[in-house]
Amino acid sequence: MRKNKIIDLNKIFNTPANPLLLRIMAICIIVCFSQCSKDTTTDDEKVGDWARKSEFEGVGRTEAVSFVVDDKVYVGGGYDGDDRLTDFWLLDDATGTWYQKANFPGTPRNSAISFSINGKGYIGTGIDEDDNKLKDFWQYDPTSDTWTQLADFPGTARYNAVGFSINSKGYISTGYDGNYLKDLWEYDPGNDTWTQKASLGGSKRSEAVSFVYDNKAYILTGTNNGSLLNDFWVYDPANNSWEEKRKLTDATDNDYDDDYDYNIVRKNAIISVMGNKAYLTSGNNGSAIASTWEYDISSDTWDEKTSFEGTAREGALGFTVRSNMYIVTGNNSSYEFDDMWQFFPAAEQDDNNN
């Protein structure tokens, strides 16, 4: 705590003191010191801490894929700045150990989709080194460490789509095939078949993010014809319908700054769920960014958290395993990353764990 200072105004000015003048000046100085010694914490000060963890053991890359099976994370594919990749790795986050697994046998690619269903991982779509858009679809079995090619995705070949799973079904939506897309397809692993579902209610888009909470899927952010999108939608597979949530540019209840909410919109970002909150970070809104936002699913509002403390990036992977959220890989301009970070949304920022 800062101690009060005793000031002799006669010594400061080295002149006979005018009592009235001294009284006025003393009041001003006391107010100044009082204000300067106050805690500068404000209501909108950001909370959250990022801690650096065990680096991804493969080469740095961007726009790879990941899925979680039985509290283990699988990461692979993507683009290292020169080549598309097929290597795959398992992360045991309890020990910070990475293990190399069987290479993906399909065409090397980036900007694909992935999800997991009933103990198996799935990968599909993407773009190859010759800029061919892809629609093949694959299953990974962690028990046997093997890959199996499944029925092709029946929508148009595309990249920068989103993938998610709900109630033992997989889904692919949005992306780019030469046209921005908003269609939705459901995959049934029981009979290896696809069914088209109701299209996204909002804008067509590429480079969006999605997350699942309470058996509903949320799709937000992304780009369409060079514009970043602010509409936000939730899909309920129980009745095959979409509902619009509050727009991202009107999402924080901060009336003092009309531009404040525009920091949420972006493309090529990551989003992960912890508890009943979702956390959006990284991406690009004209350049790579590090700002991080917490979405309160119950109130449909956003709160800004401590920015990602690694190098700002896009094309990263985000996942939650054992209630822990991580971000790994990604790129900034021509630099591809292999670092991994864990986010603690309720902690105070600590620069010593970077």
Write out pLDDT tens, residues 283-323: 999 999 999 999 999 999 999 999 999 999 999 999 999 99
Least confident among 101-105, 185-189, 320-324, 347-351: 347-351
Four-CA torsion 181, 113, 283, 288, nearest 10 degrees? -100
Instruction: Please enumerate, as own/partner, the contacts of 232-235 that have beta carbons within 8 Å and a separation of 24 or more.
Output: 232/202, 233/200, 233/201, 233/202, 235/171, 235/184, 235/198, 235/200
Position 19 pLDDT exceeds 80: no
pLDDT on residue 252:
61
> pLDDT tens for residues 150-168?
999 999 999 999 999 999 9
pLDDT on residue 249:
85
How far is residue 311 from each of residues 306, 314, 328, measured CA to CA in Å? 14, 10, 11
pLDDT on residue 45:
78
Least confident among 129-143, 223-237, 257-271, 331-345: 257-271
> pLDDT tens for residues 51-76?
999 999 999 999 999 999 999 999 99
Position 128 pLDDT exceeds 70: yes
In a domain, 328, yes or no: yes
| pTM summary value | 0.86
In a domain, 236, yes or no: yes
What residues make up the domain containing 252? 49-353
In a domain, 242, yes or no: yes
Of the chain, the percentage scoring pLDDT greater than 70 comes to 84
pLDDT on residue 254:
52
pLDDT on residue 202:
93
In a domain, 250, yes or no: yes
Four-CA torsion 300, 163, 161, 61, nearest 10 degrees? 100
Q: How many domains does the chain have?
A: 1
For the chain, what percentages of helix, strand and coil (3-state, to nearest 5) are there?
10, 40, 50
Position 3 pLDDT exceeds 90: no
In a domain, 42, yes or no: no
> pLDDT tens for residues 200-231?
999 999 999 999 999 999 999 999 999 999 99
In a domain, 10, yes or no: no
In a domain, 99, yes or no: yes
In a domain, 17, yes or no: no
> pLDDT tens for residues 326-340?
999 999 999 999 999
Residue range 155-184: mean pLDDT, rounded: 98
**Which tops the pLDDT comparison, 352 or 28?**
352
- The CATH number of whichever domain residue 212 belongs to comes to 2.120.10.80
Residue 215's region, left for phi above 0, alpha for psi from -120 to 50, else beta, is left
Four-CA torsion 144, 147, 152, 155, nearest 10 degrees? 90
pLDDT on residue 20:
45
